[in-house]
Chains A and B, each alone.
Chain A
C-alpha cells in the first residue's frame, strides 16, 4: 500500500531524464531499440500471462504437493496427519459445541451440521490466509526465478484443495456414521467444491497483492478471519437464528450473500437430508462469487505483476 505509484511510472517512462548524450552519440535507449532489445521488466498482456501460467501448471502442482508433504515430514506418523488433523478438529468441535455447550438440542444431527460447516469454512480460510502470505513470504523465490507470480497464490490454494479432498473423505464417513443417508445429491458435491475453489483462487489472488505491499495485513488477517467465521453461520443455522430472534428476513438474506455462508449452506443441503433452511437462490450466490472473484482476482493481481519482489 505504501508502494509509490511514481516508481511504476518511472519504470514505464524509461530512464532517459538526465545525462543526455552529446551530439552525434545515440542514447543507450536508442541503441537498445536499434538492436531490438526489450526491457527486462515488462508485464505481459493478460491472455499471454494466463498462457504462461498454464505452462507453469506442473510447477504449481509440484510446489503444492511438496509443501503438503514437507508439512508433516518431521512427525513420526508422517502423512497420516493429513487425515488425523481434520479428524481431531471434528472431535474437538463436537465435544465443545455438541456436548458441553449443548447447542445440539434444538437441531437434528447438529454434529454433522457443525463439522460440515467447519470443514468448508476452513478450506476458504486457509486458502485465503495462505494466499495473503504467498508473495510476502516467498520474496527470495521471486527474486531468484522467473515465473508468473500468480503461480504462488494458486499453489497455496491447490495445496489447501489437496488437504480438503482428504478432509472431505473424513467428512463423508462422519456424516454417514451420524445417520445421514447416502443420496443422489452427493453427486453435486464436486460442483460445489469447484465453485468454492474458483472463489478461493480469486480471493487469495486479491489478498496476495494486498499482503505483498501492505505487510501489516498479516497482523490484521486473524481479526478478519474470526469475524468472518462468526458471521458465516458455522455454529448456527442463519435462517433459524434470524426467525427466532424476530429480526427481519432481509438480514438473513444479506448474511446468505456472504460467500463463505453460501458455500457452507450449499454443502449442508447436499450432504444433510435434515437441513433445509437456505433460500432457493443460494446456488446463484455461489456461482456469482466464483466467477466474480476469479475474474477480478486475476485482473487485480496481474496489474501489479512487475512490482512483486521489490519489497
Chain B
C-alpha cells in the first residue's frame, strides 16, 4: 500500500490514464475546450502543487512567561521562540474541480482536510503552489465571529454582517434564520445559555443563510437531532444547486456517500486517493 500511496500523490487530476489500478480512477472530466466557460464541465477550482506550512507556538516555559525584558531581548536579536515549530500541513496537493461537482474530503484527524478547505477559500496563504478559483469560495462557518455572551438576536445580526451582508439583506433573512434554527424564544437569551445542539443549529442557520459560488462545508452536519439533520441536508442540497461547486468535509461517511459525486482522501497532507465515492470509501473503510 505504501508505494501505491507514493505514486498516487503525484497523480494530477488532468492526467486521466493512471496505470492499471482498479482501486483508483482519477477524475476524467477534463474533456477539453468545446463549450467555453459556461460548459458544465468547466474547472471552477484548480489546486496546483499546494504546500501549506503553519507556525505553531508552544506554551512558554514558566521561567519565560510575562518577563518583558526577555521579550525585548528576543526582538532585538530577531530570534524566533524556541518553542516555535513549523507544521507542514499540506504537502503538494493538486487537483481540478469542475462546475457541478460535490467533492467529499475524507481522512483521519489532522490529515489536513480543514487546512485544505481554508486554502481553497483563500484564507491561508500558500507556502508554495497556488489555488485558482472562479469567483470567491466561501467557507460555511461563522462560529468565530459569534460571541457567547450575546443574545441569539445580536449574534444573528453580527454573523450576517461578518459574512458580508447588507443591512437590507440582514432584515430579510433574520426571520428565516430564526425559523430554520427552530430555537424559538431562546433567540432573546445569550448563546452561552444554549444547549450544544441549539447552538449548533443557530450557527448552521446563520452560516447557510447566504448563497455562494463555491461552497466549502467543514463538518457542519455532525450535530443536532434527527429532524434538524434532515433539514440541514436538504438545505445543503439546495445550496449545491445554487453553488457551482461544493466541498464537504465530514467524518460521517454516509453523508459523503449521499451528497458527493467525487471523494478525495487526504492522508498526512497528501492525496491518497481521488475518485468516485464508492471506490474511495471502500478503500478507506478497509484501512
Listed in ascending order, the chain A residues whose CB lies under 8 Å from chain B are 1-2, 7-8, 10-11, 14-19, 25, 27-29, 31-32, 35-41, 55-56, 58-59, 62-63, 66-67, 69-70, 73-74, 138, 140-147, 214-217, 219-220, 222-223, 306-307, 309-311
Q: How far is the CA of A149 from the CA of B119 in the complex (A)?
A: 16
Contact B50 A15 (CB under 8 A): yes
| Chain A residues whose CB sits within 8 angstroms of the CB of B47 once the complex forms | 28
Extra A-B contacts (15), CB below 8 Å, given A147-B164, A215-B57 = A7-B125, A29-B132, A39-B130, A40-B120, A41-B122, A59-B161, A140-B144, A143-B118, A145-B145, A145-B162, A214-B75, A216-B71, A216-B74, A216-B81, A220-B72
A145 in contact with B163 given A66-B158, A70-B150, A73-B150 (CB within 8 Å): yes
Q: Of A16, A19, A73, which is within 8 A of B149 by CB?
A: A73
Could you name 20 residue pairs across A and B whose Cβ atoms are closer than 8 Å? A11-B126, A15-B48, A18-B49, A28-B48, A28-B96, A29-B132, A35-B37, A35-B42, A37-B43, A37-B44, A39-B133, A40-B119, A41-B122, A62-B161, A74-B149, A145-B123, A145-B144, A146-B164, A219-B70, A223-B72
Of the listed stretches B135-143, B194-202, B221-229, chain A binds B135-143
Q: Kindly list chain A residues whose C-beta atoms are within 8 Å of the C-beta of B132.
A: 28-29, 32, 37-40
CA distance A266 to B169 in the complex (A): 43
B134 touches A73 (CB 8 A): no
Partner of A15, one of B128, B138, B157: B128
B68 at the interface (CB under 8 A from A): yes
Nearest Cβ in chain A — how far from B275, in angstroms?
19
Cβ contacts under 8 Å, B141 to chain A: 144-145
Asked if B15 is at the interface of the complex by the 8 Å CB criterion, the answer is yes
Interface string of B3-18 (1 = CB under 8 A from A): 0000000101011000
Closest residue on chain A to residue B39 by CB atoms: A35
Cβ of B129 under 8 Å from chain A: yes
Q: Annotate B42-67 by CB proximity to A: 1 below 8 A, 0 otherwise.
A: 11111111100111110000000011
Give the A-B contact count at a CB cut-off of 8 A: 189
Neighbour of A19 across the interface among B49, B66, B123, B161, CB < 8 A: B49
Is B25 part of the contact surface with A, judged by Cβ < 8 Å?
no
Which one, B15, B53, B129, B144, contacts A25 given CB within 8 A? B15
Q: Which of B10, B96, B119 has the most CB of A within 10 A?
A: B96
Residues from chain B with Cβ under 8 Å of A214 in the complex: 75
Which bracket fits the contact residues of B?
A: 35 or more
A1 near B121 with CB under 8 A, answer no
User: Could you tell me the distance between the alpha carbons of A29 and B190 in the complex, rounded to whole angstroms?
Assistant: 48
Q: Which residue of the partner chain, among B37, B96, B154, B166, contacts A66 with CB atoms under 8 Å?
A: B154
The answer to whether A7 touches B127, judged by C-beta atoms less than 8 angstroms apart, is yes
